[in-house]
Structure formats: C-alpha cells, structure tokens
A and B are shown apart, each in its own frame.
Chain A
Amino acid sequence: MSRYASENEELAPPLSATTLEHEAGRIGDPAERLDGVPKVTGAFEYASDLRREGMLFGATLRSPLAHARIRRVDIARALASPGVEAVLLARDVPGKKRFGLNFDDQPVLAAGVVRYAGEPVAVLAAASPAEARAAVGRIVLDLEELPGVYDMEQALEADAPKVHELGNVLRHVHIDHGDVASTRADVWVDGYYETAMQDQAPLGPEAGLAVPAEDGGVDLYVTTQWLHVDREQIAPCLGLPEDRVRLHLAGVGGAFGAREDIHSQIHACLLALRTSKPVKFSYGREESFSGHVHRHPSRIWVRHGARRDGKLVAVSARLLFDGGAYASSSPAVVANAATFAAGPYEVPNVQVEATVVFTNNPPCGAMRGFGAPQVCFAHEAQMDKLARALSLDPVELRLRNALATGSVLPTGRPIAGSAPVREVIEACAAIPLPEPEPTSGRGALHYPGGTGGTTRGEGLQRGVGFAVGYKNVAFSEGFDDSTAARVTLRLDDGEPEAEVYTAAVEMGQGLYTLLAQIARSELGVERVVLRQADTLIGSAGSSSASRQSTMAGGAVQLACRRVREELSRRARARGAGDGEAHGLAELRDLLDEPATAEAVHRHRRTERFDERGQGDVHVYLCFAAERAVVEVDEELGLVRVLQVAAAVDAGRVMNPLGLAGQVEGGTAQGVGLALMEEVQLSGGVIRNASFTDYLIPTMLDMPPVAVRAVEYPEPEGPYGLKGIAESPTVVATAAVVAALRDATGRELNRAPVRPEEIVGLVGPARSAGAPAIPDVPGQEAVPSYLAMSSGQQHLM
C-alpha cells in the first residue's frame, strides 16, 4: 500500500486524501502505478487544478513577430481593464533580467527586441481568466519588424542577421578520432538526412500557482522536471535569496523534456509578490506550443566507409541543429548528438562536426532522446545503405560492428559499463514477426488509413525495418550530479510505514512507484508514503536524461540502508544479539521513535571533451533495438504500423509493467516523428499550434509493441538497473522509416515522412552540400567564452 502525502492539505486535498490499496510491489515485481488509479478516475490533482481563495489569474502577452524591435508597449488600457491588479513589463523585474538552463540569455520579459514569435513581453494578473485574457488584448504592442533568420544554414552565412550579438553559432563540437582522411575502405556510402521540429505534447500543459509568503518570499506550486534548478533561475530574477523561494511539486501531466525550461514560474512569482495575492498560470494547448522548447530540427550529412566483410572503418558526419532563439539546453543536445553520430558500432576512425545555431525560430531544447533520435535516423539509414551495397543482411551487418564492454568509443575511451549491443540486437531479431493477413475483408480499422476507409486491400505493401541506437544516462561532460533522499521509518497505528522524501519529480514516468518498491525491498515493510517533493530537501537533479531511477533510486536505497543501520544500532543498544530486527513485534519495539536517515547518491565523475573531442564524457550508456513492420498503401501514402518489436538494455528489470509502459510510450513518440509529428513554421511562426493540426499517434496508429528486456547489470546503477526511458524513442523513428523504405523502395530521408513522399509526388530532401565549419574558440558553447554565467553547473 502506498499513498502520496502532501505538506499542504489545502492545496492538494483529492490527492493526499487518497490512499491507494494495491498489491505491494517489491523490486522486480510488476507493481501497479501508485498514481495510476487517481489519474484514471480524475481524482489526481494536476497543476492546472490548483486553487487558492482569492487567487488571481495570470496571462501573458507574447510577440506575434519572430524578430522585431519593440518601439512601445502601452499598458494603460490593460491596467484600467476590469479585474486587473497588475501589469508587468521588463522594467518591473526587480532582480536579474534574464534566465536560462545553460546560459542566462533569455529575458524574463522581452525588452528592446523580441527574438521569436511567442516570446513573452508583458504579464498581468486579473480576477478571472477571461478578464486576464481580455486585458492582454488591450495592451498596445508597437513592433518594428526586423530581418530574421529562419533557416539553420542561412544562420551560418556571413551576412545573416544576428539573433544575438555574439553571432549565430551557439556551439560547435568537433570529434576527431583515428584518422578519417587517410582511411581506405572497400565501400563508401553517403547520405543526407533531415528531421523536423517535434513537440513533446505532454497532455498536461504548463501550470503553476505562486503564493506570497509572510517572510516576503514566495511558495510556488508548479509543473517542472527539476525543482532546484528552477529555483536557481527564479530567485535571482525576483531579487530574493534562495531560501525565500520555496518550490513544491504540483501534479505534472507529462514532461518529456518540455518541463526542463522555465515557463511561467518567474512570471507567477513576480505577480504574486507585486499583488500580495496568489497568482495562477495555466497555459492552454495553443500557448503551450510557445511555452516550452521543442526537439531540434536537424540536417545531417554523413559518410560511412566499410570493408567488404562489413566492418566499419570510418564515419564522418556533419550535423546541424536549429537551436532557435535562445540557448536552453542546446549546447548539451548537440554534444550528445555528436558523440552518438557513428551509431552503437565500433568505428576506428570517426570525425564529427556538430553545430547548433541560433535562429529566430522558437527555442529548441530537451526532448526525450536529447539529440540521439536525429543521429540514429541518419546512422541507421546509412547502415541499411551499406548492407545493400555489400549485399549483407542488415541485422548481420549491425552484429558485425556492435559495440561491447571495452569497445573504444568515438570519444576515445573504452566502455566501462555494460554494453550488450549484440544481445539487444539478437533479442529483438528473435521476436516473431506478425502473421500474414488476408488482403481483403479485414475490416476498415485494420488497413492503412484506418477509420478513413480508403482501401479494401488495394495498394498494400509490407516492409520491415531495423534500428539500433543508444543514449547516455544522466548528465555528461563532467557534470557533478547528485540526488538527496530522506527515508523515515515509523509506526502508524502500530503498523510500520516508510516515508520516502526527495525533490525528485514524478511526471508520469512511474518513479514514485519504483522508489516505493525500493523502500519495501530494503526495509521489508508494506506501507510506503511518498512525500510531496519540494526544495526543503537537497536537490534531486532533473527527472530527465533517463537518470532518476539511477539517481533517486540510488539515494533511496542508500537512505534505507542507513535506516536499517540505525535500527541495528537500536537493537544492539537494547541487547538484541545480532543487531537485526526479527519479526514485526521486534520492529515495533525498535520504532518507539521514528528512524530517519538521509543519503546523497552521486555518480562517477565524467570528463569534458578535449580539443579533439576525446574524453570519458558519459556516465553510462543504454542501448535499444527495434524492428518495425509496416503496411503501406503505396497509392495513397498512408501507413499502418503492424508491430514494433523492441529489445532494451535494462541492466536489471525493476518493474516489468513500468518497463513495458516506457517502451510503448517511447516508441509512440518515435512513431509520431516518423509518420506525422512536425511543428510547422512560417517566418518563425508556428502554423499548427493545436492538437487539431499537430497530430500525435492515436491507438489506431500505435502497433502492439513486443518488449524484451536484456539484463546485464550496470555497475553505475543501483541493483544494476539502467534508465531505459529514452532509448525506445531514439530508435523507433529510424526503425519505422526503414520499414517504409523497405515497403516502397523510396529514399525517404526526411522525418516525418509525408504521404506525398511515399507516393513519389515529392522527392527526397536534397542539399547542395554541408555548410562550412564555423570558426569558434573551442569545444565549449560560444557564450561560455564570453563570460556569460551558467545555470545548472553552478548548482553543484
């Protein structure tokens, strides 16, 4: 039995009042999600449900233009608008005017210039949402449009408009391993690939409630992935010391990277402090598209060389990512992409030139996969091309080149942890293919086109595609990462109950269920309470980079073991022979006072890139392979994915239900990028900012996913576990598009694949050639050479 507990009963009554009875799960059990039932029944309180007596509603004026000088902002009519209590502009920000994850380059409110369409210019608070919206419409925003940069290659041109004074290159990473230039190969294959901007599409949009406190500070209840790094950015902008800005996790309806950056946090706090009233922000879907970063669109030029027996001898890759108007986490995304560009293969000679540029498009940053899906799309298409050129089976070609523990990575260091790439490939390939189906008479839902009823068997072609990829777990490049946890064992009505307290964010991924499983296993109790996360305990780091099972899991494991040590001390002090509590009665005796322990889990140190892009940059790696089977209506270009077979490198399966859920969900996002998901831009303006026109897969678009876990314990993971949440997303897009190529014989070098490309009305994406390599001071992000302060690293 587990339940959530809230510090503040008033704020979260439906949730904290819910006690969930379900089968107690320990490590390895198929434990049901402790937040599952309240989410399904509607009892779960999401951030958008937050309310406080007398609260105001915030609203944001966003720039309609992507690049413009702000001539004038006239708020007089908005201030006089019914219900309005405050209207704030950049000049009203009392502290630092800018914030950001990697660099504080993003204005709290734009002043002087706007750099993307959707950038906040003014915020206000009013008595009702309708009054707030109406007042935003009464602000006069006088803009003078400036020439903008809307294309990532244009951004690199010498005469391109500058998005920032420092120029349009945000970071260039150079990896030079072996000697590509003098490598001889029997076969070379070249390719050019593009991927589109993808939205994380969490079902719960951004929301938060800021409550002014008596000490002049503020309590913020908010959707986020990392409470402490939010506070790190919020407090300086408010001009407050950190201890007067307290963050509390509100119900998060999905994140997938979209909750790593600040959305309304600073705006809500500013308005709450100005009005001395609680202020709530709750974005709608349309605003949400402007309220968070997206997956980077990419262009990739790549060349693979191999011997006749299929052994890779060289990979050279040129990557270009569109970072949009602000840095966000782009510097880390492009570094990830660079390190994975050659794929999960042993390649003795690798050269990667990876650039992320500023443009006047909406900012891009973290999304599940974090740079890896883009390069996986390219390297896996290249492996298939190579297999064709060598007349080799594509799976066999991958097996011949698979990384293993001890293999040297393009970053020049051997893999220290587990790397069962061969095993993952073999497990995936061994999953049975779906049975053939009759061509006619299936029923409309079982054809490409689904409910549209567009075929009764005409034009069908089946195809199979295979993809292997990998993802780093936890933050890389020397980041000193840690998670704190406090575990308390006490009696509640005579029953032992463990309370697990961390600042780690549950956003739907199942972390709290996992932490409860760990506490049960370590402490031998059934009842576990997950205390609401806040900043009154040490940082948990981000629920991102597939890291939290490792990091929070490790911290809770350690804290539980310290609680057990405390019980042993008590037992010894009371004369029990071996210092162990035997049986419930004895445990009750030892718990006359609660036993509490804190612990911090820290992973091994990694290194930064040297000047040749060499270094032990990643903590550990998680691999996955997927095989997609598709059926294409080749005359209409419509697709039905029949099956995805997935094998993931799980280290140790902690919860088979949770694992399957992550693989299915991660695959769905990859299927979405393969077939339909694209944020469409015109002059930097999003043209499809709604779920009417930004399509994500439905149940009819998602195939059954056959999941296999390969278990080779990871030394860096508690219990040997690996964080697997991203690896299915990394490979799914590549696998589905490979299957489409197999079905159609077409090149299909751009994701998402559009129907007109499948039927051949539109040819493959073409490039006149890779752009020149930019002149940068070194491997770090350009702003770091200009003494811009950094966000996250400062925390540690």
Chain B
Amino acid sequence: MSQDWLLKVDNLSVRFQSRGGDAHAVEGVSFEIQRGETLALVGETGCGKSVTARSILRLVPEPPGKYVAGSIKLNVEGKGVVDILSASTKEVMAIRGERISMIFQDPGKALNPSLTIGSQLAEVFGQHRVEMILESAGIEPARASRAEKRIAKQRASFVQLRFFQLTRRSKAAALQKSIDDAVARSLADTGIPNPRKIMKSYPHELSGGMKQRVMIAQALACDPDLLIADEPTTALDVTIQARILELIQDMQKRRGMAVLYITHDLSIVREFADRIAVMYAGHIVETGPAQEVLANPQHPYTNGLLGAIPHRRTPRGQLAAIPGSVPQLIDPPEQCHFASRCQWAAEACLGHVPQLHTIQPNRKVACFRFEEAESLSVAKTDMPIPAEISGEARR
C-alpha cells in the first residue's frame, strides 16, 4: 500500500505577509494520501486546514501568501511524480480539474451567477476534454479547424459562434450536441433528475442541495484522482448533508478516487473517513485511523475537540469547551502551541515545538506528554464522548 501513494505533502509551510509580521498559517505539515483513500483534515477555524487544501491546488494567492518550504508531490499514473509547488503554471493548470479537483463550502457562491449550469460545466470539458468533444461530434481532432477547436474549447467569440452556426449548420449542431451530451452525462451521474432542464437554468434557480450536486458534477467531470472537499456540507440543511456525503462516497467507490475532507464536523469523519489528521495552529498534532483516533484520542487537543461536540444526551451546561482561544499565528513562540490551553501542560511543553512521534503503527501524535498516556486517558473519562462519535451507538 505504501508504494501506492497518490499525494505526498512533505514539510509544507505557508506564510502570509501582513503588517504585523508573517502569519505562520501552515508549519511543517506532512501527510500522505493513498489511492482511493479518504483522509479527513480536522481542526477549528483558522488552524490552516483550508490553506493546506488550497496549497494542494496552488490556489493560495501569492502575495500575500508564500510557500516557504516543503513540497507537494502528486503521483500521476503513467507519468511519474510532479511537484505541484515547483511545477509550471501550465502543468498546474493541467492538473487542476483533471487530476485534483475541489468542491467548496457554499455552493451558492461557487457557481457563476451569470452563466447557465450547462455553460459552466461545458467550460470544464473545454479545458480538458476537447478531443473527446470533437470526436463525438464526428470531427477528427487532428483535422479540426480553428473555429471548431475554439468552439469545443468554449473560447469562440459570440460572432465566431454565430457565423459558424450559420455557415456550418450540421457541424455546429453536432458540436453543440456533443457538448450538451457530455454535460448532461456528468449531471446525471450525480443523481440530478432531468439534467437537460437543469443545464439551462441559472444557479439562483436551483436549491442548495442541487447546486452542491452541480458543483460535484463539475469537480468530477474529468474523473480526478483526488477530490478535495472543503467543508462540503456546512452551508447545507442537515437533511441534505447526508445525501451529499453519500453521493461523494458513492462516486468515490465507483471511480476509485481519493477524497480529502476538510471539516470540523467529527461525525462526518467517523462516518466517511479512513484516516484523520488533526490540525492545530498550522501543525498536524495527531494522525491515525479515524476510528482509533476518535475512540482513543492521544493529543489533548483532539480530546478537547471530541468533548466540545454537543449531543442530545449531553446534559445541559455540560458541554466542555476548550478554554482559551487559538494562539496568534504571527511570529508564534517556540513552544507547543496548545500549551496555553492544555490542562496537562508541563515545563517541557514550553521549551520547543513537539514533533510527531509514532506511538503505534499508523498513529502519530505531537505531544511531549503522550508517554504519560495513563494520566491522559484517566482524565479523558471525565469528558463525555458522544456515542455517535465514538461509534458505540452504531455497533
């Protein structure tokens, strides 16, 4: 399995320049994603999980963002390894959408309000599947004229398109049909009823769940190896959340793609993730198989996160919030970043930043006090872990 890694993030550090100094958004983050695997990157707002995710597609705006160190290696099947951070813009553009794709938190904001659903999806095919479009329109890609190529690429100007439609009627219709078919197929794949009708609608005419399905269709149109889902259900109604997540899982199984969930919702993690990486203040503090980490957290922060989840069986007033707030990211002190909020903090924690130690095969934790796990797990029983999260209710 370990040979079959798809994405390897190694010692990634991203900083943002600001007036008060550089904000260390992501510091020395390393993880691997295997083919077909589901990894969940968990943490609270501002911990660097979204920056990590966007770095994978090199979407962090530079400036103010800056990739200070590290590499993000993508194992492209049959083509070898590409380092996304040092690749050319053209290479990165070829990877985006084709190899790695992403869906966003708020589908309402992630679709262009002035284009129909159909033309937005057509963009993706125009970017990565020009040959397929031309072929299914009965045009040999090598012999396609400039105009035909431009139309397939969705680059034709209005005048050019009209002129082509007037002069080459049947070819124009064939091209349009070929594009429409591809779009309809990708929409139908995500379980959208009546895709031909939806294609002609504008985003504001669709419901939130429908828009998220369109987003997923757009992201998966070119069969990527990795899908990054940045809080895919946060903006949706609870009733639709499960369906969208099941859809992603279903697509994942059918296509054998890997999924990277960015989330703060631990119930998603429990249900859908194979492995989990907990982030805090730009560092990964704990990683391991999802079930094990949730059932037996080793880092005090993970422990705190689990305790902070409301649950219908939690008595009133017993929700255990983690005291304090996320430390400043601008020029952070050389110490365990969680120390100021940690009830087990000792002198050792203030000296330097703890590194990830392997504590069990597959499990790593960045805490100086994990050896005193006994004391931790004793304390842990104080915090009620919701049954749904720890998995007891389902078994």
Q: Do A and B share a complex?
A: no
Point out residues on A near B: beta carbons under 8 Å. Answer: none
Point out residues on B near A: beta carbons under 8 Å. Answer: none
